[in-house]
Amino acid sequence: MKYPIILFLIAILCVQCMTTSKPIPEKQYGLITEKAMVVSAREEASKIGVEIMKQGGNAFDAMIATDLALLVSYPSAGNIGGGGFMVYRQKDGTIGALDYREKAPLAATKNMYLDAHGNVDSDKSQIGALAVGVPGTIAGLFEVHEKFGTLPFEKLIAPAIRLAEYGVVVTEKQAQNLNDHTNDFKVANKRTIVLDKVWKKEDTIKYPKLTQTLKRIQANGRGEFYKGETANLIVDYVQNLGGIITKEDLASYEVKWRNPVTFEYKNHRIISMPPPSSGGICVAQILKSIEPYDIEQYAHNSIQYMQVITEAERRAYADRSYFLGDPDFVTIPTDSLTSKTYLSRRMASFDWKQATMSSELSRGVFPGYESTETTHYSIVDQFGNSVAVTTTLNSSYGSKVYVEKGGFFLNNEMDDFSAKPGAPNVYGLVGAEANAIAPQKRMLSSMSPTIVEKDGQLKMVLGSPGGSTIITSVIQNILNVLEYDMTMQESVSKPRFHHQWLPDSIKVETSFDTLNFPSLKKLGYNIDQSNTPIIGKVDAILVLPDGRLEGGADPRGDDSADGF
């Protein structure tokens, strides 16, 4: 008799559940394709990358074509006057990373941005010709082509040439962005330039000078940019504006193949960018610091979720500021920084009842150790290769210096160095000796192109722009999918937050739910909702359980997924 009663009660409970509980929201998927995909900041660039793969090209061919298409369609960050990083995973599981980061010119000096009183003159490191680092993008693209390309480079650059010649239709966001920077363009170039007009949606921008530059690169190869006519145009223009880049700087630029940072997070293998990016090490530190916590038991973006992640971020960024720099110049204790023992010691001071004060926390100590605008795109090809690429001019339109006869912007990556210990850069990041300026040194980055594997198979490709917030945008998207089972599109669309040790505040997007702020403030957390309409712009690809690909194109921009 007992069992029918229990069954009856269960049945009533179920009926109640069905009538009183909220319906489970349907999952919102992004574009789903069978074999191949590109997700990037612009529709034109994603389409061009996909077209190359349809013609039989692989993910590396598509990377080159997409990158050059972004130069034309997304000139605030897409570039040949900047640099970037690529993390890749081939179909057989081989992984690697390419560093084509800018370098300090030979004539750069440690104190070059200090004024007579020893204060940082950030105008010099952020805008104008003195802010420009030696660009690495063209060297990077040719290196990728030499090692992995299957289609001729001339074919891969052709779509970008067509785009530059016939023009790009301006989106509303792009028109706004261009108009916001008109004055900076004038300051940096000491004159009016071609992009100087009031832009509106649906305008077309044509780039006749850039068309010529790309055609010369198509005809003459890598040497055109580093030793040819384009090199001369860059050096003449920069030096006329008071910059220090020489022909020798360009001629001696070299890319570096690096070993990615790899680590395990709850049965997933994460593969990310090593120094001179801080990305991989910080992503590893943050995720490994929170791994002992049962993250999925906290509601997404709840008080506890924000606390544990903020405290891990605070500690990782404090270490970043002290230990990280160009590995060709400084010794980085990567193993110690990412060891489980060290990270659990670091998190030991975390108290659920009270925020740690950044002023009371500095870098960790190990026994024996002495010592907006970037863009990201993700690609998976029909053969199973994947690439995650983050490329940058640093700020939007970089230094705003526009090589007039070449038709392209130059970076202001020199601001990513620590111009003076403890003095914040454009992202509020502080640094120390490890990231001090030296000739031919690479400035520390936060760019974190990342690939995630599960059981030896590709699971996710992701990355973001956003300066210091790149790292925290990447980890939140890894957690959204791994801990909260979100689709890729749901994940990239979720509101984000960020803590970077100094300044001691949790930055939140303006769309972030304010419900928990009073409680967080009571616990000692400062919340900063000013000036941060968005944090990061994540473009990512998720491999679904049935092997199909789902794109997550960040709705914060004009980002777009395409594929077949």
Binding site for ligand GLY (CB under 6 A): 374, 392, 394, 413, 416, 445-447, 467
Task: Give the nearest distance from C-beta 132 to ligand GLY in angstroms.
Answer: 13
3-state secondary structure of 263: strand
Which residues are within 8 A (CB) of 350 and not within 5 positions of it... i.e. 6 or more apart?
307, 308, 311, 356
Instruction: Tell the smallest beta-carbon distance from residue 138 to ligand GLY (Å).
Output: 18
* Residue 159 or 276 with smaller CB distance to ligand GLY: 276
DSSP symbol at 385: -
Euclidean distance between CA atoms 30 and 563, whole angstroms: 12
Nearer to ligand GLY, 45 or 447 (CB): 447
DSSP 501-562: SSS-SEEE-TTS--TTHHHHHHTT--EE-TT-S-----EEEEE-TTS-EEEEE-TTTT-EEE
- With respect to ligand GLY, which residue has the nearer C-beta, 326 or 416? 416
Closest distance to ligand GLY from the beta carbon of 284 (Å): 17
Q: Dihedral (C-alpha) 357, 360, 366, 367: value to the nearest 10 degrees? A: -140
Instruction: Rank residues 330 and 447 by Cβ distance to ligand GLY and give the closer one.
Output: 447
Smallest separation (angstroms) from ligand GLY to the CB of 229: 28
What tokens were used for 130? 């003195």
Q: What is the C-alpha separation between 465 and 470, in angstroms, rounded?
A: 6
Residue 477: strand, helix, or coil: helix
Distance (Å, whole) CA 55 – CA 538: 27
What is the smallest separation between the CB atom of 412 and ligand GLY, expressed in angstroms?
Answer: 9
Q: Phi and psi (nearest 5°) for 445?
A: -120, 165
Sign of the Cα pseudo-torsion (273, 279, 285, 289, in order): negative
Distance CA(75)–CA(69), nearest Å, equals 10
Tell me the residue nearest to ligand GLY as measured from the CB: 445
Question: Can you list the alpha helix ranges (DSSP code H) found in 379-468?
Answer: none
- Cα angle 468-311-493, degrees, rounded to a multiple of 5: 55
Nearer Cβ to ligand GLY, position 277 or 487? 277
120-126, Cβ contacts within 8 angstroms, sequence gap of 24 or more: 120/419, 120/420, 120/423, 122/415, 122/419, 122/425, 122/426, 125/412, 125/414, 125/415, 125/417, 125/419, 125/425, 126/395, 126/399, 126/412, 126/415, 126/426
Q: Whose Cβ is closer to ligand GLY: residue 324's or residue 481's?
A: 324
Residue 272 or 392: the one with the smaller Cβ distance to ligand GLY is 392
First to last CA, the chain: 59
Q: In whole angstroms, how close is the CB of 140 to ligand GLY at the nearest point? A: 14
Nearest to 475 by CA among 503, 500, 457: 500
Query: Which of the following is catalytic: 66, 374, 450, 487?
Result: 374
Q: How far is the CB of 135 from ligand GLY (least distance, A)?
A: 13
Q: How far is the CB of 85 from ligand GLY (least distance, A)?
A: 8
| Residue closer to ligand GLY (CB basis): 284 or 447 | 447
- As a whole number of angstroms, the distance between CA 111 and CA 193 comes to 31
- Tokens 């990556």 belong to 413
Q: How far is the CB of 289 from ligand GLY (least distance, A)?
A: 21
C-beta closer to ligand GLY: residue 82 or 364 = 82
The separation between CA 179 and the C-alpha centre of its own chain, rounded to angstroms, equals: 24
For the bound state, the minimum distance from the C-beta of residue 466 to ligand GLY, rounded and expressed in Å, comes to 8
**Measured between alpha carbons, how far is 420 from 412 in angstroms, rounded to an integer?**
17
374 as an active site residue: the answer is: yes
Cis previous bond, 276, omega within 30: yes
Of residues 319 and 413, the one with the C-beta less far from ligand GLY: 413
Active site residues: 374
